[in-house]
C-alpha cells in the first residue's frame, strides 16, 4: 500500500483561488517532499520539509508538516492555469533515500 | 541541457519479448533510481543504485534487471515482458543518501505498452 494518501484525489478551482492539498502517511519520516507532474511529463520537485520543521514557503507555495498527525498540506496561493497538474507528496528518510509516493491530487485551474 | 534523459520515450512490444530502457544523468549525482507509474498514477520505487552499487531492490520480479555501467547511467532490462508490465517507467537521480540533499530529479519517462 502507498505510504502517502492524498486528499482530495481531484480538485477544480478558478484562477486566482487558493488550492489546498493534503497528504497523510503512516510511518516515521526524515523528510516529506512535494512534486508536480504535468500531463505526460516527469515529476518536478517543488519543496522539501524536514521532520523537525513545521512550515516552509517557496514563492506561492506553502507547506506545513504535522508529525504528530502524520500529515502535510500544500497550499498554492493565487493559482494560475499553468498550475494545472498532478501533485504528489513523497516521504523520505529510509535507507537509500527511497521516496514513497502518495497517489497524487489532480488539480485543474480554470482560466 | 537535459539533466536526466531516458530512451526510448515510447516502447510498444509483444508479450514475451526482452527490452531495455536507458537512463543517463549529467548532474554529477551518485544515486540513481527506477520508478514504475501504473495506470492509476501510483508511483513505486523499483531499484536504487549508489555509485554503481545496488542499494534498494523492492519486490520486483527477477525479470527486471538493472545495470549501472557507471554512476551516470542506470539501464533497466526486462525479460519475458508481460501485459502487467505496461506502465510508465521513470528514472531519477539525486546526491548520495548521506549528503543531506534528498531532492530527486526525474527523467521524462518511458511509456511501455505490452501487447
Which cell numbers in the block locate residue A74? 500544500
| Residue A95: predicted pLDDT | 61
| Residue A59: predicted pLDDT | 96
| Residue A2: predicted pLDDT | 47
CB contacts of B56 in chain A (<8 Å) are 95-96, 98
pLDDT digits (tens, 9 = 90+) for B63-99: 999 999 998 999 999 999 999 999 999 999 998 777 7
Cα–Cα distance between A2 and A91 in angstroms, integer?
Answer: 10
| Residue A82: predicted pLDDT | 96
| Residue A94: predicted pLDDT | 61
Instruction: Using the Cα atoms of residue A73, residue A19, residue A75 and residue A4 in order, give the sign of their dihedral.
Output: positive
Query: What mean pLDDT is predicted for residues A65-86?
Result: 96
CB contacts of A101 in chain B (<8 Å) are 35, 42-44
Nearest to A42 among B41, B90, B94 (CB): B90
pLDDT digits (tens, 9 = 90+) for B3-21: 999 999 999 999 999 999 9
Cα–Cα distance between B80 and B99 in angstroms, integer?
Answer: 38
Helices (H) and strands (E) in chain A, counts: 0, 11
Q: Which of A2-6, A23-27, B100-104 has the highest mean pLDDT?
A: A23-27
Interface of B with A (CB under 8 A): 4, 31, 33, 35, 40-45, 48, 50, 55-56, 90, 92, 94, 97, 102-109
Phi and psi of B4, rounded to 5°? Answer: -125, 120
| Residue B1: predicted pLDDT | 59
Cα–Cα distance between B39 and B35 in angstroms, integer?
Answer: 13
Give SS3 for A15.
Answer: coil
Whether A104 and B41 lie within 8 Å, measured CB to CB: yes
| Residue A75: predicted pLDDT | 98
pLDDT surpassing 80 at residue B107: yes
Distance from CA of A78 to the nearest CA of B (A): 26
pLDDT digits (tens, 9 = 90+) for A17-29: 999 999 999 888 8
Amino acid at each position: 500500500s502507498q505510504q502517502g494518501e492524498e486528499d482530495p484525489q481531484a480538485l477544480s478551482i478558478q484562477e486566482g483561488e487558493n488550492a489546498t492539498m493534503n497528504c497523510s502517511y503512516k510511518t516515521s519520516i526524515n523528510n516529506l517532499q512535494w512534486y508536480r507532474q504535468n500531463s505526460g511529463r516527469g515529476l518536478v520537485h517543488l519543496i522539501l520539509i524536514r521532520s523537525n520543521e513545521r512550515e516552509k514557503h517557496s514563492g506561492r507555495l506553502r507547506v506545513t508538516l504535522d508529525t504528530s498527525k502524520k500529515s502535510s498540506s500544500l497550499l498554492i496561493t493565487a493559482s494560475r492555469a499553468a498550475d494545472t497538474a498532478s501533485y504528489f507528496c513523497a516521504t523520505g528518510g529510509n535507507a537509500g533515500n527511497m521516496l514513497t509516493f502518495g497517489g497524487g491530487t489532480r488539480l485543474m485551474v480554470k482560466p | 541541457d537535459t539533466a536526466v534523459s531516458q530512451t526510448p520515450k515510447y516502447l510498444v512490444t509483444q508479450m514475451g519479448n526482452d527490452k531495455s530502457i536507458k537512463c543517463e544523468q549529467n548532474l554529477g549525482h551518485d544515486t540513481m533510481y527506477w520508478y514504475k507509474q501504473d495506470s492509476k498514477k501510483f508511483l513505486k520505487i523499483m531499484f536504487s543504485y549508489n555509485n554503481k552499487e545496488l542499494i534498494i531492490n523492492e519486490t520486483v520480479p527477477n525479470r527486471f534487471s538493472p545495470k549501472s555501467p557507471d554512476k551516470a547511467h542506470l539501464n533497466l532490462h526486462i525479460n519475458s515482458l508481460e501485459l502487467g508490465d505496461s506502465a510508465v517507467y521513470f528514472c531519477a537521480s539525486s546526491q548520495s543518501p548521506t549528503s543531506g540533499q534528498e531532492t530527486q530529479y526525474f527523467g521524462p519517462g518511458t511509456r511501455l505498452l505490452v501487447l
